[in-house]
Structure 1
Amino acid sequence: MPAPRIPLITELPIIEQPLHRSGALLDLLTRRLRVAGESALNAANLRPRHLLVLTVLRDLGESSQADLATTLQLDRTNLVGLLNELETDGLIERRRSPEDRRRHTVVLTQDGRERLAAAEFTLAAAEDVVFAALTHKQRETLYELLLKATAAGC
């Protein structure tokens, strides 16, 4: 998938420029969240990609391997290795599709649900540490602003 095109400065509308730029601060916060998150995931014996697969399976339900690869934007070969790890740990199951015996569907196990819940709880605690200087209301405002900014796309 090609990277999104960033408009040239001459193509951008003229608007009042903000006094401060947020990009560097967002990058710093992202790095802090990533470090805290990876530490939390290590404690749960998971990697970020594991968390992503488990979350998608929980939220979207059973999926074919091909559909899961498309949803996660992962090469199918890379996904197979990732699923092998999760299946070895008993967090997912792969089953033959009753409609097409050549296809496999991927299902989150009860152990997978429990490990995902524990990881999310630990990640929430790590996020609390990173955003400790903000009040609850400020964190809600930050979330709403980030949601609005990400919904706009590029």
Structure 2
Amino acid sequence: MTSLPVVNQPPHRCGALVDHLARRLRLRSESVLAPLGLRPRHLIALTVLRDQGGSAQQDLAKILEMDSTNVVSLLNELETENLIERRRSPTDRRRHLVELTDVGAKLLARAEFALAAVEDEVFSGLSGEQRETLYTLLQQATNKTGVEACRETPPC
């Protein structure tokens, strides 16, 4: 009787699992944001504006990594719902400053509360400590740009 050769197991790869979790999070998140009249891109913009205390429109486009035309469309949607306010910069009339309104801040708080429940559901298989570890690891992974990551682990 001949023995089968030992095959080395490939290292665990996280991509497929992260993708699966991201899809679950995205689908559930979209379902709780929709009744609030929000889409994920709205939520991201509102969060950035809250965290930065407002932003120049061009700076917001860079932060969101969006074309300026798409940012204008996004801001038009948010402004129509009174979630943000745009005004001319007092120091440079060519620039627009964008700020979160009180209505926007309240809606953002409601959305974040709803999304916390989604995270609890999706990550219910993890303890609180494990969730904190996951968060820390994901932060570390996202702190590198794609270019930096490619330099360290070619080929990209």
Check whether TM > 0.5.
yes
Is 1:139 the equivalent of 2:136? no
Is 1:108 the equivalent of 2:96? no
Q: CA RMSD for the aligned pairs?
A: 1.7
Distance 1:20 1:71 in 2: 33
SS class of match (2:85): strand
Q: Deviations over 1:44-88 (max 9, x none)?
A: 110111011101100112211111111111111111111011000
Aligned twin of 2:121 = 129
Aligned twin of 2:64 = 72
Is 1:44 the equivalent of 2:31? no
Structure showing greater Rg: 2
The AA in structure 1 aligned to 2:61 is A
May I ask how many residue pairs the two structures share in their alignment? 139
Of 84-93 and 17-26, more deviation after overlay is shown by 17-26
The AA in structure 2 aligned to 1:123 is L
Distance 1:146 1:67 in 2: 25
Distance 1:98 1:89 in 2: 24
Structure with more relative contact order (C-alpha pairs < 8 Å, separation 6 or more): 1
Distance 1:101 1:143 in 2: 41
TM-score (norm 1): 0.83
| Offset, 1:108 | 0.5
Q: Residue 22 of structure 1: which of 14, 18, 22 is its match?
A: 14
Is 1:88 the equivalent of 2:80? yes
TM-score (norm 2): 0.82
Identity %: 62
SS class of match (1:99): coil
The AA in structure 1 aligned to 2:104 is G
Mind listing any 5+ residue stretches in structure 2 that lack a counterpart? 1-8, 150-156
| Offset, 1:97 | 1.1
Of 56-65 and 113-122, more deviation after overlay is shown by 56-65
Distance 1:120 1:68 in 2: 21
Mind listing any 5+ residue stretches in structure 1 that lack a counterpart? 1-16
